[in-house]
């Protein structure tokens, strides 16, 4: 590149990749240098604000004529010779600013000519309304707080390219106001959950994210390595077993909101790292958890959205209590006609599934087949909030058995919009039963099922000291946010969803 000064923008030695060699970047670099030549630092210091854009607009009657100071990003500029209108955007929204040469002086007005769309400015001036009624700040003084060297996405269409929106989320946030709103709602949902639990006496705790033995869920883990100890560790797939150790230790109501990591497929409903709420309450059971779940979600919806009725992908979801409760076998009977209560062997169960056109999974026990039929034929149809209870013991290695029905556990999952939102059970606190379940799981593992639970002696030892009976609940925060915001892709409610890195290198070495 043989443009003068391009490799030495603003007097600073720096290198740019080919990608950056567009005209705009070069020209803005020159403006940056010109601003510096005037003795002005285009990357300014702290700026004392008096107001946010929306506050000024909302309180115009009171604030009219007063001097205000606002800061934000320049989003539009309309020059009229010796006067210029522009729009400044801060967290709250946008406000118009107005600069006149004879008001701020010719030198300052000329400097404003070096200001580009995307620059971050601080302005001071008095509030007035234009002829057309727009609340505007008549600028008396402005400072450049940060120079923008690149072109912002288009003002009218915004940033639509989905890949760019995820890879450069900051642009998405600058240019698409709804995106900002979504993530504010996400934050409010989590705050509301914490407040709700705090009010009920739950203690927030943090348990390890790196586990010597991954447990508490059926999922493939990520493996990492600790150098000094020279051991492999697993990023946690669930915090469950650690939280229950805390019940043994005497904490009676605990919860954790944090990331889980599962090394599995990526889709609009699955991100490899996702946020989970898990809570445990001593001396309670899964029915208590059902009530808690219902109250929690209803409460959060009303608090954050102002209503228990939410619009989700064109469907109205009503989170007002009380939600339907259906045993899994009854739900299956209702939607397929198969009555698993009348089925008494694994072989029979497999044949029954095949009769309705399902290919039963390999080993295929009564419980796994029941669950499979449920997932394939019932789950997608559960649109309004529905508790499915009485899960088979085969797929619930950490849940307490029902006393009068040993094939089943005291467990429920909550479904909304055909998606699993919550999972809860009466926690298995019998160390002998837990040991047998782990052994059962270990057998499956040996047979090649790498999703089965690993034997965890340390956890068993904790149970052997005695864990109070307890109810435990897990809620997928991302999926909850999806329901409450009505968005159908998990990537739209995670700020930086996982994406494959773009290929590098092709342009990196070209300059050398």
Interacting residues with RNA (CB under 7 A): 18, 22-24, 27, 76-83, 85, 96, 98, 100-102, 116-117, 128, 130-134, 136, 150-164, 166, 217-219, 262, 264-265, 267-270, 371-372, 375, 395-396, 423, 451, 489, 491, 499-500, 502-503, 506-507, 510
Beta bridge partner(s), residue 257: 277
> Based on CB atoms, which residue is closest to RNA, 92 or 96?
96
> Based on CB atoms, which residue is closest to RNA, 301 or 366?
366
Beta bridge partner(s), residue 253: 281
| Minimum distance from residue 168 beta carbon to RNA (Å) | 9
200 by DSSP, 3-state: which?
coil
| Minimum distance from residue 136 beta carbon to RNA (Å) | 5
Distance (Å) of CA 246 to CA 207, 255, 367: 10, 10, 30
Residue in the structure block whose two tokens are 């990196």: 508
Beta bridge partner(s), residue 143: 122
Q: Are 451 and 218 in contact (CB under 8 A)?
A: yes
| Minimum distance from residue 364 beta carbon to RNA (Å) | 13
| Minimum distance from residue 200 beta carbon to RNA (Å) | 25
Distance (Å) of CA 114 to CA 41, 80, 97: 13, 15, 16
Kindly give the pairing relationship between strand 93-100 and strand 203-204. Answer: unpaired
Q: Is the dihedral of CA 403, 409, 411, 412 positive or negative?
A: negative
> Based on CB atoms, which residue is closest to RNA, 281 or 423?
423
| Minimum distance from residue 494 beta carbon to RNA (Å) | 11
| Minimum distance from residue 512 beta carbon to RNA (Å) | 14
Distance (Å) of CA 147 to CA 233, 376, 423: 44, 55, 49
User: C-alpha angle 26/32/33, rounded to 5°?
Assistant: 95
- Give the tokens for residue 281: 């309450």
> Based on CB atoms, which residue is closest to RNA, 46 or 362?
362
Distance (Å) of CA 300 to CA 197, 290, 294, 303, 490: 11, 15, 10, 5, 19
| Minimum distance from residue 199 beta carbon to RNA (Å) | 29
> Based on CB atoms, which residue is closest to RNA, 22 or 345?
22
> Based on CB atoms, which residue is closest to RNA, 300 or 485?
485
| Minimum distance from residue 205 beta carbon to RNA (Å) | 22
Q: Are 246 and 254 in contact (CB under 8 A)?
A: yes
Beta bridge partner(s), residue 122: 71, 143
> Based on CB atoms, which residue is closest to RNA, 21 or 252?
21
> Based on CB atoms, which residue is closest to RNA, 300 or 353?
353
Torsion angles phi and psi, residue 302, rounded to 5: -65, -40
Q: Are 475 and 293 in contact (CB under 8 A)?
A: yes
| Minimum distance from residue 129 beta carbon to RNA (Å) | 7
> Based on CB atoms, which residue is closest to RNA, 24 or 307?
24
Kindly give the pairing relationship between strand 203-204 and strand 210-211. Answer: unpaired
């Amino acid at each position: 590149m043989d443009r003068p000064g391009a490799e030495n923008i603003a007097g600073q030695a720096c290198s740019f990749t080919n990608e950056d060699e567009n005209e705009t970047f070069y020209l803005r670099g020159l403006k940056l240098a010109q601003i510096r030549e005037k003795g002005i630092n285009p990357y300014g210091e702290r700026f004392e604000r008096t107001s946010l854009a929306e506050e000024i607009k909302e309180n115009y009657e009171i604030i009219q004529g007063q001097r205000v100071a606002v800061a934000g990003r320049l989003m539009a500029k309309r020059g009229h010779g010796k006067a210029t209108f522009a729009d400044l955007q801060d967290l709250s929204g946008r406000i118009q600013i107005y600069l006149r040469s004879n008001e701020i002086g010719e030198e300052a007005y000329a400097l404003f000519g070096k200001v580009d769309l995307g620059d971050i400015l601080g302005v001071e001036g008095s509030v007035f309304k234009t002829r057309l009624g727009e609340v505007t700040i008549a600028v008396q003084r402005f400072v450049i707080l940060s120079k923008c060297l690149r072109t912002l996405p288009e003002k009218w269409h915004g940033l639509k390219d989905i890949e760019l929106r995820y890879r450069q989320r900051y642009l998405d946030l600058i240019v698409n106001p709804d995106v900002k709103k979504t993530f504010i709602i996400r934050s409010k949902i989590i705050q509301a959950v914490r407040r709700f639990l705090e009010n009920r006496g739950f203690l927030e705790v943090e348990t390890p994210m790196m586990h010597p033995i991954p447990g508490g869920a059926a999922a493939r883990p990520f493996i990492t390595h600790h150098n000094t100890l020279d051991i492999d560790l697993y990023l946690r797939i669930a915090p469950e077993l650690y939280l229950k150790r805390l019940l043994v230790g005497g904490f009676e109501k605990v919860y954790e909101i944090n990331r889980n990591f599962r090394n599995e497929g990526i889709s609009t409903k699955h991100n490899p790292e996702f946020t989970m709420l898990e809570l445990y309450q001593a001396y309670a059971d899964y029915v208590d958890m059902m009530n808690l779940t219902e109250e929690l979600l209803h409460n959060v919806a009303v608090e954050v959205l102002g209503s228990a009725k939410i619009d989700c992908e064109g469907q109205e979801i009503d989170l007002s209590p009380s939600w339907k409760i259906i045993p899994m076998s009854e739900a299956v009977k209702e939607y397929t006609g198969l009555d698993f209560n009348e089925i008494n062997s694994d072989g029979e169960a497999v044949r029954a599934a095949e009769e309705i056109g399902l290919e039963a999974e390999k080993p295929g026990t009564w419980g796994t087949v029941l669950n499979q039929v449920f997932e394939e034929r019932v789950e997608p149809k559960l649109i309004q909030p529905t508790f499915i209870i009485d899960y088979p013991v085969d797929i619930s290695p950490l849940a307490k058995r029902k006393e009068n029905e040993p094939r089943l556990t005291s467990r429920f999952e909550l479904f909304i919009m055909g998606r699993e939102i919550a999972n809860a059970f009466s926690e298995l606190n019998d160390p002998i039963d837990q040991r047998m379940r782990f052994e059962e799981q270990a057998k499956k593992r040996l047979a090649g099922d790498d999703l089965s639970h690993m034997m965890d002696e340390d956890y068993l030892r904790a149970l052997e000291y005695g864990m109070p009976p307890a109810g435990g609940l897990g809620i997928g925060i991302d999926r909850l946010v999806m329901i409450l915001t009505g968005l159908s892709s998990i990537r739209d409610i995670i700020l930086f969803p996982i994406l494959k890195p773009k290929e590098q290198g092709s342009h990196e070495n070209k300059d050398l």
